[in-house]
Amino acid sequence: MEKIAALYLAHLNPVTNSHERIISQLARDYHVYVFPVVFLKQGREVNTRTFPFSYELRKKMLKGLFNDQDNIEILPNYKFVSPFIKYLPPILSPFSWSIRSGVLRDISEDRFISYTGDKAERIALRFYNLHPITAKRLEISSSDVKGLLYQEALERLGKDNSTTNLKNDLNNLNHSESSAESWKNMVPKNVAEIIVENWKIIEKYAQSKDKTIKIFGMKFPEEGIL
């Protein structure tokens, strides 16, 4: 039987229980290639409050879950290099098509599908001829987890947590549990351990403004946009 590849392009910042479930389900039928998005400026990865964890940390999270599965690979090829504005508008910009070429560079299979739970992203993937399959949206989003992480960090630091960023992050969350218990229930155990080991990152961005902008439905770090 011919093996077909499944491409999973995502932020994965951080990896959640939903991400783990999606990748595991894809791996039953496909050779899965996971592409955590990377933003680079002069060879350095750019991170923000929205994108706090580096590619290497996200790869470590994924490796802890799937390192023993030969049909799951984590690759850094979903890569935007500053100035990010050159990738816009999507579809029309030739640089946006270079992202597609980079993603497909290390795919060994002749046939492939791609996965996203977002309707708008699915339309974009269809335009880029990446053959998206129909899928439901994530039950647990990385934004939910980050909101609770930042809330806990501010509580530990004794800081005011009434900022607009945090209010937006927590707007739709259930507060029946403490922030610590809530976010730990949303991510795999090894991911929680990596987050705790790198808590300084959470503290840093909990106290920072979000230097991320959204253009044409796509999120980019402000640093490196021009």
pLDDT tens, 132-179?
A: 998 877 788 899 999 999 999 999 999 765 554 554 554 545 544 567
Question: What is the model's pTM?
Answer: 0.91
Q: Which of 82, 89, 87 is nearest to 101 (CA)?
A: 87
- pLDDT reported for residue 176: 47
Q: Give pLDDT tens digits along the chain (226 positions).
A: 578 999 999 999 999 999 999 999 999 999 999 999 999 999 999 999 999 999 999 999 999 999 999 999 999 999 999 999 999 999 999 999 999 999 999 999 999 999 998 888 899 999 999 999 988 777 888 999 999 999 999 999 997 655 545 545 545 455 445 677 799 999 999 999 999 999 999 999 999 999 999 999 899 999 999 9
Q: What percent of the chain has pLDDT over 90?
A: 81
In a domain? residue 83: yes
Distance of CA 6 to CAs 24, 94, 117, 190, 219, Å? Answer: 11, 24, 14, 24, 23
What range defines the domain where residue 102 resides? 5-127
In a domain? residue 220: no
Distance of CA 132 to CAs 20, 78, 116, 120, 127, Å? Answer: 19, 16, 7, 11, 10
Cβ distance 42 to 212 under 8 Å? no
The verdict on 51 and 108 lying in the same domain is yes
The verdict on 52 and 93 lying in the same domain is yes
In a domain? residue 133: no
pLDDT in tens, 72-89: 999 999 999 999 999 999
Please tell me the total count of domains within the chain.
2
Which of 127, 157, 190 is the last residue in one of the domains?
Answer: 127
Query: What distance in Å separates the CA atoms of residue 156 and residue 151, rounded to the nearest whole number?
Result: 9
CATH of residue 73's domain is: 3.40.50.620
The verdict on 190 and 86 lying in the same domain is no
Backbone angles phi, psi at 35, to 5 degrees: -120, 90
- pLDDT reported for residue 226: 96
- pLDDT reported for residue 119: 84
